[in-house]
Amino acid sequence: MVKTRKKLLIIHSSDELYGSDRILLEVAEALKDDWNLEVWLPVDHQDGEQRLFNELRRRQVAVIHIDMPILRRSLMNPKGLTRFAGLFPGMVRRMRAAHADHVYLMTAACLLFAPLARLAGVPHVTAHLQEPWGTREAFILRKLSFFADHRLAISQTVASSTGLRSDSVSIVHNAVPRLAGSPNPEAALIEGFEQPLYLIASRWNGHKGHETLLRAWETAGHPGKLFILGSAPQGNDSVDVPDLVRRHVSDPNSVQIVGQVESPEAWFDAVDCMILPTDTIEGCGLVVIEAFRHGKAAIVSDSGGPAEVVSHKENGLIFTPKDVAGLARLMKTTTKAELQAMGAQGRRCYERNYTPERFHQAIRAEVSRLDPVV
């Protein structure tokens, strides 16, 4: 007799294809053979192309869009909270109808579903914490997290920011898939460039440090070529990167705004170094691991998670957040050969710590510890 697989409902806070979205894909990959998966994505936070939705469909994972209560700073006001209250009864009914054995919350923004899952009678709830908690929201998020049986954090930085007991949070470091495919024609055009080639690949959010980087680029005298990937998300926190280039860089030919691309891997292949100049706190910085996978060095601000991955002057370089002069000095004094040597060390770090095989094994072990599939 064939045994029916248990159902795991994954709830996520965005439909894009950035850091936490890609970790959802890895979680689904880790659990799809043992569980009947269903994914709920929100209707209010998308990149316009539904890239995560389409990728899940391509992988034959059941996925739907739902108008649901996701904790966003822009909604933390009387109007937003009133809207949440109106959604709660329908969400409880919908969760009961889903008949899930386990609910997996992909980010802290989904934590309202922890008590809702309990009200719906779901036996188990896992919270996967991917963002550092600020002081103001930590009190509420801690209370909500107590409704989860199990909590995972992507770094020590994230775990510490929650204020939860260290023995109540398991740390599972992120991973990125192994390389596949070949460079695109655009990336191939920059081969043979004598000065270092740098890349920044992230959302165009205010805290990501684009202005810090561009001011440092100007201070350093445009020490090579800088490529900027990404796009501005919906919401009030986006920045106009082309305008920042016009305002801060006297040689616009030294900076190329690539924008959103289908295959960012090709650009990692083409450059010498990835830069993550976050001005505030970063939970992990998945692009650092991506850089290491490609055998590239990483220059990062000392913003939490990235500094847990990078070893200064071994596989990359670390500077103080918002320190324009410090970042400029690193770029101005580091040679292409030194970056390439650090990139080789980064590749070894990836193989030791950040492969999908290691991540999948860890996720299966954590979920099975709470809710065995046999």
CATH number of the domain at 7-175+355-370, please? 3.40.50.2000
Return the pLDDT at 4: 77
Report yes or no: 320 and 171 within 8 Å, Cβ to Cβ.
no
Q: Please write the tens of the pLDDT for every residue from 171-184.
A: 999 999 998 765 55
Return the pLDDT at 213: 98
**Length reported for the chain:** 374
What is d(CA 50, CA 197) in angstroms, rounded to the nearest whole number? 31
Q: Please write the tens of the pLDDT for every residue from 100-131.
A: 999 999 999 999 999 999 999 999 999 999 99
Is residue 374 pLDDT above 50, yes or no? yes
Q: Please write the tens of the pLDDT for every residue from 248-302.
A: 999 999 999 999 887 788 899 899 999 999 999 999 989 999 999 999 999 999 9
Average pLDDT, the chain: 92
**Topology match between the domains 7-175+355-370 and 185-353:** yes
28-37, 154-163, 185-194, 216-225 — which is least confidently predicted? 185-194
Report yes or no: 279 and 334 within 8 Å, Cβ to Cβ.
no
Report yes or no: 111 and 145 within 8 Å, Cβ to Cβ.
yes
The pLDDT-based confidence of 373 (bands split at 50, 70, 90) is low
Find all residues with CB under 8 Å of 157, minimum gap 6, and list them: 132, 281, 282, 283, 284, 304, 305, 308
Whole-model pTM: value is: 0.88
What is Dmax (Cα atoms) for the chain? 72
Beta-carbon neighbour count of residue 43 at 10 Å? 11
Topology, domain 185-353: Rossmann fold (3.40.50)
Q: Tokens 């890609």 — which residue?
A: 22
Q: Please write the tens of the pLDDT for every residue from 50-69.
A: 999 999 999 999 999 999 99
Return the pLDDT at 181: 60
Is residue 190 pLDDT above 80, yes or no? no
Delimit the domains of the chain by residue range: 7-175+355-370, 185-353
Torsional class of 103: left (φ above 0), alpha (ψ -120 to 50), beta (otherwise)? beta
Closest among 146, 158, 95 to 122, alpha carbons compared: 95
pLDDT > 90: what percent of the chain? 78
User: H helices within the chain, ranges in order?
Assistant: 19-31, 51-58, 78-98, 113-119, 135-145, 156-161, 185-188, 210-219, 241-248, 265-270, 286-293, 305-309, 324-333, 336-353, 356-370
Is residue 317 pLDDT above 50, yes or no? yes
79-88, 108-117, 196-205, 278-287 — which is least confidently predicted? 79-88
